[in-house]
């Protein structure tokens, strides 16, 4: 993922996302404890946004952040590190639909390589 995050016109973002099921439906990951990402970046902070079947609006998600160093590394994020964003429902791990890696929230040059993403 490479691009400029700009703040004109009420802000912006750069995102890569993955639906967990081919039909976009929910997947039960409740027997797992988190997400592992193998990444290399530009020492900037990025976000992981989760969407469940409870998420109805584009601005809603469950969010955690990580720093992507300039060398390959594995970042692990436990599910309890994800905070709800503009949604009242708690994170329901039996209904996870989508994972997004996002550059958002401030103007900067996003440069992130993702070798793998795993539910762990």
Full domain range(s) for residue 106: 2-119
Q: Is the pLDDT of residue 51 over 70?
A: yes
Which tokens go with 113?
């390589």
C-alpha distances in Å from residue 112, one per residue of 41, 46, 92: 4, 9, 28
Q: What's the confidence (pLDDT) of residue 28? A: 98
Q: What is the pLDDT of residues 78-110, one digit of tens each?
A: 999 999 999 999 999 999 999 999 998 888 899
pLDDT at 107: 86
The per-residue b/e assignment along 55-74, b for 16 or more CB within 10 angstroms, e otherwise, is: beeeebbbbbebebeeeeee
**32 burial class (0-12, 13-18, 19+ CB within 10 angstroms)?**
middle
**Tokens standing for residue 93:** 């791990």
Count up the domains in the chain and report the number: 1
Q: What is the pLDDT of residue 1?
A: 79
Average pLDDT over residues 44-53: 96
Question: What CATH number did the domain enclosing 58 receive?
Answer: 2.60.120.430
Instruction: Name the residue among 11, 3, 63 with its Cα closest to residue 35.
Output: 63
pTM attached to this predicted model: 0.92
Scanning 1-120, the segments in alpha helix (DSSP H) are: none
- pLDDT of 23 higher than 90: yes
């Amino acid at each position: 993922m490479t691009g400029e995050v700009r703040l004109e016109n009420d802000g912006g973002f750069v995102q890569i996302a993955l639906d967990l099921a081919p039909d976009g439906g929910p997947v039960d990951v409740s027997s797992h404890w988190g997400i592992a990402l193998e990444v290399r970046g530009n020492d900037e902070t990025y976000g992981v946004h989760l969407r469940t079947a409870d998420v109805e609006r584009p601005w809603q998600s469950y969010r955690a952040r990580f720093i992507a160093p300039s060398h390959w590394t594995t970042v692990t994020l436990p599910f309890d590190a994800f905070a709800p964003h503009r949604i009242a429902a708690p994170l329901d791990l039996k209904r996870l639909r989508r994972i997004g890696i996002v550059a958002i929230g401030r103007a900067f040059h996003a440069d992130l390589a993702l070798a793998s993403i795993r539910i762990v």
